[in-house]
Amino acid sequence: MARARASRGTSNAAPRKPAPKRAPVNDIPPLEWVAAGVGLVLASTAIGLTAWDAMFGVKGPPAIEVRLKRVTPTAHGYVAEIEAINHGGAPAAQVQIEGQTSKEAASVTIDYIPEQSTASGGLIFEDDPRLAALKLRATGFADAS
Amino acid sequence: MDGNAGYGRALSRAFGGALLFSFPLLMTMEMWSLGMAVERWRLLVFLLLTLPMLIGLSYYAGFEPTFRLKDEVLDALAAFGVGFLLSAVLLSIFGVLRADEIGTQSAIGKVSLCAVPAAVGALLAGKQLGERGPGEREKAEAGALGELFLMAVGAAFLAFNVAPTEEMILIAYQMGPLATLLLMAASIGLLHLFVYQLGFPGETRRREAGGFSRTFVAFTAPGYGVALLMSLYLLWTFGRTDGVAVHEIATMTIVLGFPAAIGAATARLVV
């Protein structure tokens, strides 16, 4: 930016300082347009999407669905990998997720699930939860921030 | 060397400056969660205010005394772009942005929140660490309003570095009324000292304002006012004021006003 500026002095009718000898370029270098263009695209994308979300985004409290992805038997119990999807219009923090089978219960806390987003984690059971009527659900959360 | 090569180097410097100014925030956990949690309207206002702020900063940090809107806008946009790119790349490397998150509102929130301080750094570095010697370089002079604008930017910038952290709230909880008043007095005293007594480089024009009381009323008091306003604005943006009692908000504002006042006082050092 500095150099471009220095060299552009010549394009002015009354330059205040003598232009540097080595760079008598008369106009804004193409790269400056490119850089500003990239900035414009990025800034307007971010602003546009934020505005869209503010105006038309889903409203309402967090609505958290918990899905079982798969169960893997390990030497230290059955690991049930889960994902929690927040379908609601507000982010949820410290989401408590509980898995209950006919024999045992396991729980996990997920720090943060933004709205319309997915977070994942795991529950660990002693016996195969698929054979013991596994029920998954979120039992609570704190408001974010 | 043609204009492109010169501009390319300035752009590289801009990336360097962005890195220097924004990495403490990029590596702060609260910035990530705030990026997801900040209310969208407040984020929108924040992003929209950033553009004129960058344009103004581009003018005052520039070398040319003339205000050419096209140049300032181009520089501000390029700096914003540098900020976005740098935050996106670094946050991805840090594992903050996951692949399945791209394009979602939470990713945009995280990147754009971090992009703002990075853009300020990019702008200042692209402008200031130029190849011309310091003797040749003459900063644009700022009038009274301009000085207030620069103080506001300095205040916002320094306060922004700590405003997202939990510690601001914790400190406010820990402080009693007496300590609060003491901190306020210290902020105002430091602001006055920094600007009018110590004589940092770049502060010359503001020191000949007459007697103590006149200087204080005309310059220090508005400066602290701007610092407090910026603190309150940042706290509101980050949702720290929601549902909090008024006196607690006042304490938080004064706590954050401490770094803000120092930022306001030293704005001219950086810009």
Same domain, A32 and A96: no
Same domain, A45 and A70: no
Return the percentage of chain A with pLDDT > 70, whole number: 81
Indicate the residue of B37, B127, B129 with minimum beta-carbon distance to A91: B37
pLDDT value of position B260: 95
Return the axis-axis angle of helices B69-93 and A30-56, rounded to nearest 10°.
Answer: 70
* Smallest Cα distance from B130 to chain A, Å: 5
Contact B105 A49 (CB under 8 A): yes
pLDDT value of position B68: 75
pLDDT value of position A22: 45
Rounded CA-CA distance A143/B242 in Å is: 12
Q: Which residue has the higher pLDDT, A64 or B137?
A: A64
Contact B81 A117 (CB under 8 A): no
How big is chain A by its Cα radius of gyration, in Å? 28
Query: Structural domain tally of chain A?
Result: 2
Band of residue A9 on the pLDDT scale cut at 50, 70, 90: very low
Q: Which residues of chain B fall short of a pLDDT of 50?
A: 129-138, 204, 207
Helix (H, G, I), strand (E, B) or coil at B79: helix
Q: Which of A56, A84, A102 is the last residue of a domain?
A: A56
* Smallest Cα distance from B53 to chain A, Å: 14
Same domain, A136 and A70: yes
In this structure, chain B runs to a length of 271
Contact A114 B105 (CB under 8 A): yes
Same domain, A20 and A73: no
Indicate the residue of B36, B37, B77 with minimum beta-carbon distance to A40: B77
Same domain, A37 and A104: no
Same domain, A40 and A85: no
Closest by CA to B153, choosing from B70, B41, B77, B265, is B265
pLDDT value of position B203: 52
Same domain, A48 and A69: no
Indicate the residue of A3, A25, A47 with minimum beta-carbon distance to B10: A3
Rounded CA-CA distance A18/B58 in Å is: 22
Task: Using a CB–CB cutoff of 8 Å, tell me whether A75 touches chain B.
Answer: no
Same domain, A29 and A68: no
At position B59, the amino acid (one-letter code) is Y
Band of residue A72 on the pLDDT scale cut at 50, 70, 90: very high
A10 DSSP 8-state letter: G
Q: Which of A17, A34, A56 is the last residue of a domain?
A: A56
The structure tokens 């150099």 sit at A3
Indicate the residue of B37, B41, B73 with minimum beta-carbon distance to A54: B41
pLDDT value of position B256: 95
Which ipTM score applies to this complex?
0.77
CA distances from B178 to B40, B139, B181, B251 (A): 37, 41, 5, 11
Same domain, A47 and A69: no
pLDDT value of position B250: 94
Task: Using a CB–CB cutoff of 8 Å, tell me whether B71 touches chain A.
Answer: yes
Rounded CA-CA distance B201/B70 in Å is: 30
pLDDT value of position B201: 58
Question: Residue A106's domain is classified under what CATH number?
Answer: 2.60.40
- Segments forming the whole domain that contains residue A130: 64-143
What number is the average pLDDT over the span A55-64? 88
Q: Strands of A77-86's sheet, edge to edge? A: A64-74, A77-86, A117-125
Task: Using a CB–CB cutoff of 8 Å, tell me whether B11 touches chain A.
Answer: yes
Task: Using a CB–CB cutoff of 8 Å, tell me whether A116 touches chain B.
Answer: yes
All residues of chain A having their beta carbon less than 8 Å from the beta carbon of residue B106 are 91, 114-115, 117
Q: β-strands A105-113, A92-100: how paired?
A: antiparallel
Contact A30 B4 (CB under 8 A): yes
Same domain, A49 and A115: no
pLDDT value of position A17: 45
**Which H or E run includes A92?**
strand A92-100
Same domain, A39 and A72: no
